[in-house]
Chains A and B, each alone.
Chain A
Amino acid sequence: MKKVVSIFVAMLMAFTLAGCGGGSTSTKSNEGDLSGKISLNGSTSMQKFVTALGESFKEKYPNVNVEAQFTGSSAGIAALQKGTCDIADSSRALSDDEKNSGLIENVVAIDGIAVSINKANKVKSLTKQQLADIYTGKITNWKDVGGADEQIVVIGREAASGTRSAFEELLKIENQCKYAQELDNTGAVVAKCAATTGAIGYVSLDAVDNSINTMELDGVKATVANIKAGKYPLQRPFVMATKGKISKQNKKVQALFDYINSDAGQAIIKKVGLISAK
Chain B
Amino acid sequence: MKYSIVGSNKTTTREEKAAAYIFIACAALSIIAVVSITAYMIISGTPAIFKVGLVDILFSTTWQPTAGKFGILYIILTSIIGTLFAVLLAVPIGLLTAVALSELVNEKLKKVLKSAIEMLAGIPSVVYGLLGILIINPAMYALEKSIYAGNPHHQMTGGANLIAAILVLVIMILPTLVNVSETALETVPQHLRLSSLALGATKIQTIFKVVIPAAKNGIFSAIVLGVGRAIGEAMAILLVAGNAVKAPWPFNSVRFLTTAIVSEMGYSQGLHRQVLFTIGLVLFVFIMVINIILSRILKKGEEDD
Direct contact of A and B (CB under 8 A): yes
- A residues near B (Cβ < 8 Å) are 44, 70-75, 77-78, 137, 140-141, 149, 151-155, 158-161, 165, 174-175, 178-184, 188, 192, 195-196, 198-199
Partner of B155 from the list A73, A159, A174, A178 (CB cut-off 8 Å) is A178
Chain B residues within an 8 Å CB radius of A153: 156-158
B158 and A198 contacting across the interface, CB-CB below 8 Å: yes
Q: Is B160 an interface residue (CB 8 A)?
A: yes
B242 and A180 contacting across the interface, CB-CB below 8 Å: yes
Residue of B nearest to A159 (CB): B65
CA of A195 to CA of B268 in the docked complex: distance in angstroms? 29
A195 and B138 contacting across the interface, CB-CB below 8 Å: yes
Q: Is B7 an interface residue (CB 8 A)?
A: no
Q: Is B223 an interface residue (CB 8 A)?
A: no
Surface stretch bound by A, among B24-32, B86-94, B214-222, B259-267: B259-267
CA of A75 to CA of B266 in the docked complex: distance in angstroms? 8
B242 and A181 contacting across the interface, CB-CB below 8 Å: yes
A180 and B267 contacting across the interface, CB-CB below 8 Å: no
Chain A residues within an 8 Å CB radius of B266: 70-72, 75, 184
Contact residues, B229-272 vs A (CB, 8 A): 238-239, 242-244, 253, 255, 262-264, 266-270, 272
Cβ contacts B261-305/A at 8 Å (1 or 0 each): 011101111101000000000000000000000000000000000
Cβ contacts B143-180/A at 8 Å (1 or 0 each): 00100111110111111100000000000000000000
> Beyond the given A159-B66, A160-B268, could you list 6 further A-B residue pairs with CB under 8 A, ordered by the A residue number?
A140-B155, A151-B150, A152-B156, A158-B263, A160-B267, A161-B267
Partner of B239 from the list A137, A149, A188 (CB cut-off 8 Å) is A188
Interface size class of B (residues with CB under 8 A): 35 or more
CA of A123 to CA of B145 in the docked complex: distance in angstroms? 20
Q: Is B64 an interface residue (CB 8 A)?
A: yes
B243 and A158 contacting across the interface, CB-CB below 8 Å: yes
Q: Is B5 an interface residue (CB 8 A)?
A: no
Chain B residues within an 8 Å CB radius of A183: 239, 243
CA of A65 to CA of B226 in the docked complex: distance in angstroms? 45
Partner of B160 from the list A72, A160, A181 (CB cut-off 8 Å) is A181
- The list of the 7 closest CB pairs from A to B, nearest first, reads A72-B267, A160-B267, A196-B158, A153-B158, A151-B156, A175-B67, A78-B269
Q: Is B141 an interface residue (CB 8 A)?
A: yes
Known contacts A72-B267, A151-B148: A160-B272 contact under CB 8 Å? yes
Least CB distance, A195 to chain B, in whole angstroms: 7
B157 and A180 contacting across the interface, CB-CB below 8 Å: yes
Residue of B nearest to A184 (CB): B263
Known contacts A149-B150, A153-B157, A192-B158: A179-B66 contact under CB 8 Å? no
